[in-house]
Amino acid sequence: MTQTASPVNEPENHARAKRNVWILVFAQALLGSQMPMIFTIGGLAGQMLTTNLCFATLPISMIVLGSMIAATPLSWFMQAYGRRAGFLLGAAAGATGAAICAYGLYNASFAIYLFGSLITGIYMSAQGFYRFAAADTASDTFRPKAISYVMAGGLLAAIIGPQLGNYSSMAFGAIPFMGTYLTVMALNIVGSILFLFLDIPKPPVPAHDAPRGRSRLDLLKTPVVAVAIISAMVSYALMNLVMTSTPLAVVGCGVGGETEIPAWIEGVVPAGTMRDQFQFIAGYVVTAHVLAMYVPSFFTGHLIARHGAEKIVALGLLILAGAGAVALMGVDLEHFFVALILLGVGWNFGFIGATSMLAGSHAPHERGRVQGMNDLIVFGGVFMASLASGGLMNCSGTSAQAGWVSVNLAMAPFLMLAGGALISLVLRPKD
């Protein structure tokens, strides 16, 4: 007899869903702090190791590529062996990738560093499934809030990650950023203990005559699925495009004299070279950005439940456009902070809204197929964005400011794509 899970609407299962959400919140906070750490230093380390500055952000692109490649196999693995096994595998990959990156820094080898970044992408992919795991045992009414709460776990990651990166990056003075990767290894080892307490039943083995569900092509032809994936991809890709370039822009514009250190932040900037000072400031800009990514998650789920996912996605796209507009106004430090805060809020509304749309658009037996396909497409777009980021930033003009302008102008066609898709869905006659 095929094992089936108890209905998620039963009280005892609601309590289990809440416990799982709390575990995933802590996992997002602890293990998730490694991503802002790595994304803050990735481009700077690449700039230090590569002989071609156009490839400075290639390490971040490799992380995203690893995540894209791992998405479908991880989805299958979790479908077969459960969420716990998949998340433990992800944490192991995170520790292994960090060890390889540290070895690459020790040997000043860009190739080894890139390979370690690729392996790190497996962890990034696993972390992306935290939000889906939160929905597995949640009722229909609790699902948007469960997803939102797990994403809110990134709030602590936003506070801890960049600052850990700032203070650990120079722990080994002769080898910049070595301490950061040793810290990442420790986070993955300690954080993996959380998954031992996760209580999400493995999906039942389908009977031979069970419905197989729609093919990937049929799913993509479903309007709500297609629009949800497009919206998630654009929100995540544009966030990554701009965020990846931000440390390079802050440091480049600072060293180049276009950006000055204002009086209101001078007190927290340590003594050192101009490059070291602006690298430290870049960590604070990224901290503000990541906080803006996750703070709204405390109420995003409530907004979705009240107003509908489509309206929240539309608001997210508008805020992303606002981020680009502010960035184009100048390169004062205030412009960087405001633009990156808007970028984080826009990503939150767009990505969580799209995730909620997707979670309610398929049958349970289609879960693995839909989620794997979604993350493959989303991270495919993010990979292209992060790859383009370094080229636009370092090779599209004669100054860091010119590169920063190019990065933000590149947002426009993708915002129009997602906006057009969303409008077509809303105006489509209801079945």
Identify whether 207 is part of a domain: no
Does a structural domain hold residue 69? yes
Model confidence over 49-108: pLDDT tens digits? 988 888 888 898 899 899 888 888 888 898 888 899 999 999 999 999 999 999 999 999
Segment of 135-139, 353-357, 373-377 carrying the highest mean pLDDT: 353-357
Q: Is pLDDT of 8 > 60?
A: no
Q: Give the domain CATH number at 131.
A: 1.20.1250.20
Alpha-carbon distance values, 62 to 21, 43, 154 (Å): 30, 11, 22
Tell me how far apart the alpha carbons of residues 287 and 160 are, in angstroms, rounded to a whole number.
9
Q: What is the extent of the structural domain holding 142? A: 12-201+213-427
State the pTM of this model: 0.76
> Does residue 3 sit within a domain?
no
Tell whether 208 is covered by a domain. no
Q: What percent of the chain has pLDDT over 90?
A: 35
What mean pLDDT do residues 40-56 have?
84
DSSP character for 107?
A: T
pLDDT higher than threshold 70 for residue 206: no
Domain contains 4: no
Rounded percentage of the chain residues whose pLDDT exceeds 70: 90
Structural domains in the chain (count) = 1
- On whether residue 5 sits in a domain, the answer given is no
Confidence of residue 3 (pLDDT cuts 50, 70, 90): very low
| Mean pLDDT of the region 9-18 | 71
pLDDT at position 238 over 60: yes
Burial of 431 (0-12, 13-18, 19+ CB in 10 A): exposed
In a domain, 6, yes or no: no
Task: Report the distance separating Cα 21 and Cα 136, nearest Å.
Answer: 10
**130 in a structural domain:** yes
For residues 96 and 118, is the Cβ–Cβ distance under 8 A?
no
Tell me what the pLDDT averaged over the chain comes to.
85
Mean pLDDT of 376-396: 84
What are the C-alpha distances in Å from 423 to residues 221, 222, 314, 378, 420?
17, 15, 9, 20, 5
C-alpha–C-alpha distance, residues 427 and 431, integer Å:
12
Question: Alpha-carbon distance 132 to 147, whole Å?
Answer: 7
Average pLDDT of the residues in 395-422 = 91
Instruction: Return the number of other C-beta atoms located less than 10 Å from residue 414's C-beta.
Output: 20
The amino acid at residue 51 is T
